[in-house]
Amino acid sequence: MAKQLLKGNEAFAEAAIRAGCEGFFGYPITPSTEFLEHMAKRMPELGRAFVQAESEVAAINMVYGAVCTGKRAMTASSSPGISLMMEGISYIAGTEVPAVIVNVMRGGPGLGNIAPSQGDYYQMVKGGGHGDYFPIVLAPASVQEAIDQIGLAFDLADKYRSVVHVIVDGNIGQMMEPAELPPMRPLPKDVPEWAVNGAKGRAARSLSSIYIDPKDEEVTNIRLVRRWMEIEKNEVRYTEYFLDDAEIAVIGFGTAGRVASSAINQAREEGIKVGLFRPITLAPFPKKQIEDLSKHVKSILVVEMNSGMMLDDIQSIVQGRVPVEFFGRMGGVTPFPDEILDEIRRVNTNEAVINGQVRAEWLDRLEKLIEEGK
Amino acid sequence: MTQEYSIIISGFGGQGTLFAGQLLAYAAMDNGYQVTWIPSYGPEMRGGTAHCTTIISNSIIGSPVTRSPYAVIGLNLPSVDKYEKVIPAGGILIANQSLMNRELVRSDIKGVLIPANEIAEQLGNKQMTNMVTVGALLAHLPVLSVEALEQALKDHLPPRKQQWLPANVDAMRKGFEFAQEAVAA
Amino acid sequence: MMLAEKQTMDLIYQRPESLSDAITHYCPGCTHGIAHRLVAEVIDEMGLREKTIGVAPVGCSVFAYNYFNTDYVEAAHGRAPAMATGIKRVLPDRTVYTYQGDGDLASIGMAEIMHVAARGENITVIFINNAIYGMTGGQMAPTTLPGMRTTSSPNGRDVELSGYPIRMSEMLATMDGAGYIVRRSLHNPANIRKAKKAIRLAFETQEHGLGFSMVELLSSCPTNWKVTPNEALTFIADHMVPVFPLDDFKVHPAIANLKV
């Protein structure tokens, strides 16, 4: 199939359909609404389920019901809507049923704004809902990657009976890029052995996240942790760019990562030995790879569209082996390549140091940038 | 050697800024370039300013946004005010004179003041203002020809809008001719 | 010589196939057990057991899935109608019902129940109204009667402070998407028979594709009302029925004419 110029949100939605999504349940919210609109048009055409729910709370519980039958189902929303869904996501995780949730992130906290952000890193990567569970989190950086990862998300969800979040910021949701959609996958005929679909010719089954005896809950928790360790072993994904001879490693995911790649191109023209490490799975996080990286570079620059959330994870992996510097924009501001280029130059000329002041020093520089009108 | 051209098209909502940017993106894609198109989105689109960024490159595009666009189509005065100062030397500014009350300031860029509304009205369709300015841009942009855009229109204009194809092409050609003469003058 | 007497035994009462043999955790005198049995009998009589998926709530009937011998899921508090929607939409030929209490349905799940009815989702809701939060130990519910003492209205529900009881059936009957909305009571055998017929008609409404159906059942909670089981049944008749009248609030014509 030839490449088409596709809008992020619409392309993800179509990719989900082609991956066999049989139920979509959502609620309008900018900047993810085109996802819902595409589903509203396409799902009924295909005889599949679409409901515009009364709230995100209802939407995620409709997903919960649909996936309990063994069918592939999903929702898509943006930050405040995802907060409302966290209850249902925890239930889905506790029931060990597969579900795919897309978060097109926007500026916050609170109502915030509708501009692109990565401020939901903690919420998405660390769980977000109550209780002991571990979602898989994919962070594509282009329309094509998002298309590919929606299919991957459904496969991983089924394989591990896990919640899979696909998180992008508003840039990728709203952007058009040439991309290729996968062919339509045939719908599976087999029903998973755990699914609840009417006890025809078999013993009745139930699906629940309740384990009233703490000992039973603990056994479930152990199963979830073991499964997570399996996921950590098998499913780490990332890309590298110009890292072979790099002395400075920039680490960024999603839009922040791809904006950094523009800055890296320019820095390379200036002769600076800098490369990019872009995690694709934020959970499981590429811990080993970043640990190895920290043994080969002189310094690391973390770039995010938040206050340095992934920075904390990277610092705990690098453990002071090399200086870890940080640059981020917040509140829905997307950094321009020149800002990151300046940061690369700074790290390259002033030998980066470890002084425990990374965040404070970044804030000082950021406030100066803002004063300059950037 | 990486060649990358970032183009911002900015104007009032309803002036066809987003479509003009998409059209450039389609033409670029069809001619083998890498391309990104990203709009301003949300409430600001409704009645306020609307702008989009199209980036055309011969290699993989990192940032889909830029602080200093190589080329700008400013369809109204606020857009020209905003972007005239950030275009790098040697860049392009197509400014819609119809909605301006000043001359261009920069002399180190290729600036074209074009009465796009009037040209479109003379052609009988004010809706084509955006296409007049796209034509003017093509006169100076090192990539993409009028023919490439014409083909993109044929291939990507939705069927219900195909009737407007000749008007779009006429407007683009008029803008192209105007911009060539403006530089010759 | 004596003639051998011919002896026969007729089976006149047994556990419906749709009920499991688990011993319930319900308190003595609680009417949940009766409601469970009525639902199971109807599912058996209609031959729906192997295509039924129940949705349990949070509340006293949180373990409903253990007591029914059908497929079951357990929803988050108040979200059973949303979960049922998800199931029904991807498996439209299955019989899907929720079993919810008053806190679950009329308080935290108010949005979900109103919208499931507005959409005319082809599901059935069994609504147990006992005017109190049972599982958490007897707090005021949205259906608690004015003046009724609960642990969170220790001086009796003061309508100035905490408003009035909500009549769900009356409200839901205004929805165009609803096909069958009635209120019944479980306080004596005559009413229990009527309740069973209503449950039957509610499931018939679903099987005939006539939209949303709900049977509200006035139920007892002797433990949290702090009365004996008998007093609890009397309380329903004397105090609940006047506030929550037993009536048909909406019956689709095709169901009104149905002989069951």
pLDDT of C220 strictly over 70: yes
Residues in chain B: 185
So what's the pLDDT on residue B184? 53
What is the CATH number for B136? 3.40.920.10
Chains C and B touch (3+ CB pairs under 8 A): no
C84-131 pLDDT, tens digit each = 999 999 999 999 999 999 999 999 999 999 999 999 999 999 999 999
Which residue on chain C is closest to A207 by alpha carbon? Answer: C73
Q: Which of B54, B53, B55, B43 is nearest to B13 (CA)?
A: B43
The number of domains in chain B is 1
B45 pLDDT band, cuts 50/70/90, is very low
Give Dmax over CA atoms of chain C in angstroms. Answer: 83
Select from 2.40.50.140, 3.40.50.970, 3.40.630.10, 3.40.50.720 the CATH code of A4-234.
3.40.50.970
Q: What angle do CA A230, A96, C53 make, to 5 degrees?
A: 155
pLDDT of B46 strictly over 50: no
| CATH architecture of residue range(s) A238-371 | 3-Layer(aba) Sandwich (3.40)
Peptide bond into A284 cis (omega under 30): yes
3-state secondary structure labels for all residues of chain C: CCCCCCCCCCCCCCCCCCECCCCCCCCCCCCHHHHHHHHHHHHHHCCCHHHEEEEECCCHHHHHHHHECCEEEECCCCCHHHHHHHHHHHCCCCEEEEEEEHHHHHHHCHHHHHHHHHCCCCCEEEEEECCEECCCCCEECCCCCCCCCECCECCCCCHHHHCCCCCHHHHHCCCCCEEEEEEEECCCHHHHHHHHHHHHHHHHHHHCCCCEEEEEEECCCHHHHCCCHHHHHHHHHHHHHHHCCCEEEEECHHHHCCCC
Count CA within 13 A, CB hemisphere, residue A45.
Answer: 7
Chains A and B touch (3+ CB pairs under 8 A): yes
C49-89 pLDDT, tens digit each = 999 999 999 999 999 999 999 999 999 999 999 999 999 99
Q: Read off the amino acid at residue B5.
A: Y
User: pLDDT averaged over chain B?
Assistant: 92
Q: Which of C130, C260, C106, C146 is nearest to C185 (CA)?
A: C130
Which residues share a beta bridge with B84?
none
CA distances from A301 to A248, A339, A345, B181, C168 (A): 7, 13, 11, 49, 59
What sign has the CA pseudo-torsion A96, A138, A305, B87? negative
Q: What angle do CA A92, A93, A99 make, to 5 degrees?
A: 60
Q: Does B2 contact A334 at a Cβ distance shorter than 8 Å?
A: no
In angstroms, rounded to a whole number, what is the distance separating the alpha carbons of residues B133 and B116? 6
Q: In A83-102, which positions are buried (b, 16+ CB within 10 angstroms) versus exposed (e)?
A: bbbbbbbbbbbbbbbbbbbb
For A44, the token pair is 């009924």
Q: Which of C47, C7, C72, C45 is nearest to C196 (CA)?
A: C45
Q: Which of C116, C113, C86 is nearest to A48 (CA)?
A: C86
So what's the pLDDT on residue C248? 98
Range of the domain at B127: 4-184
Q: How far is A369 from chain B (nearest CA, A)?
A: 13
In angstroms, rounded to a whole number, what is the distance separating the alpha carbons of residues C12 and A331? 71
Query: Mean per-residue pLDDT for C155-175?
Result: 97
3-state secondary structure labels for all residues of chain A: CCCEEEEHHHHHHHHHHHCCCCEEEECCCCCCHHHHHHHHHHHHHCCCEEEECCCHHHHHHHHHHHHHCCCCEEEEECHHHHHHHHHHHHHHHHHCCCEEEEEEEECCCCCCCCCECCCCHHHHHCCCCCCCCCCEEECCCCHHHHHHHHHHHHHHHHHHCCEEEEEEEHHHHHCEEEECCCCCCCCCCCCCCCCCCCCCCCCCCEECCCCCCHHHHHHHHHHHHHHHHHHHHHCCCEEEECCCCCCEEEECCHHHHHHHHHHHHHHHHCCCCEEEEEECEEECCCHHHHHHHHCCCCEEEEEECCCCHHHHHHHHHHCCCCCEEEEECCCCCCCCHHHHHHHHHHHHHCCCCCCCCHHHHHHHHHHHHHHCCC
Residue to test with chain A: of C89, C97, C110, most A Cβ within 10 A: C89
% chain B with pLDDT above 90:
86
| Contact between A205 and C74 (Cβ < 8 Å) | no
3 state SS of B159: helix
The interface residues of chain C toward chain A in range 87-106, judged by CB-CB distance below 8 A, are 87-91, 94-95
pLDDT of C233 strictly over 90: yes
So what's the pLDDT on residue C5? 65
Which residue on chain A is closest to C75 by alpha carbon? Answer: A208
Residue to test with chain C: of A62, A89, A97, most C Cβ within 10 A: A62
What radius of gyration, in Å, describes the C-alpha atoms of chain C? 19
Q: Which of B124, B110, B17 is nearest to B71 (CA)?
A: B110
Residues of chain A falling short of pLDDT 70: 1, 351-352
| Contact between C91 and A66 (Cβ < 8 Å) | no
In angstroms, rounded to a whole number, what is the distance separating the alpha carbons of residues B162 and A34? 25
Would the CATH topology of A4-234 be identical to that of A238-371?
yes
From the list A3, A174, A262, which residue is nearest B63 (CB)?
A: A262
Q: Where do the structural domains in chain A lie, given as residue ranges?
A: 4-234, 238-371
Measured in degrees and rounded to the nearest 5, phi and psi for residue A349 equal -90, -55
Q: Which of B45, B58, B51 is nearest to B76 (CA)?
A: B51
Neighbour subunits, A (≥3 Cβ pairs < 8 A): B, C
Burial of C161 (0-12, 13-18, 19+ CB in 10 A): exposed
Q: Does B38 contact A175 at a Cβ distance shorter than 8 Å?
A: yes
Residues of B with CB under 8 A from a CB of A: 2, 22, 25-26, 29, 34-39, 41-43, 60-68, 156
User: pLDDT averaged over chain A?
Assistant: 96
A117-146 pLDDT, tens digit each = 999 999 999 999 999 999 999 999 999 999
Specify whether the backbone of B156 is left (phi greater than 0), alpha (psi in -120 to 50) or beta. alpha
C260 pLDDT band, cuts 50/70/90, is confident
Q: Which residues of chain B make contact with A9, given a CB cutoff of 8 A?
A: none
Superfamily of domain C32-256: Thiamin diphosphate (ThDP)-binding fold, Pyr/PP domains (3.40.50.970)
Q: Which of B106, B63, B100, B65 is nearest to B79 (CA)?
A: B100
Measured in degrees and rounded to the nearest 5, phi and psi for residue B5 equal -120, 120
Q: Which residues of chain B make contact with A255, given a CB cutoff of 8 A?
A: 64
B44 pLDDT band, cuts 50/70/90, is very low
| Contact between A138 and A165 (Cβ < 8 Å) | yes
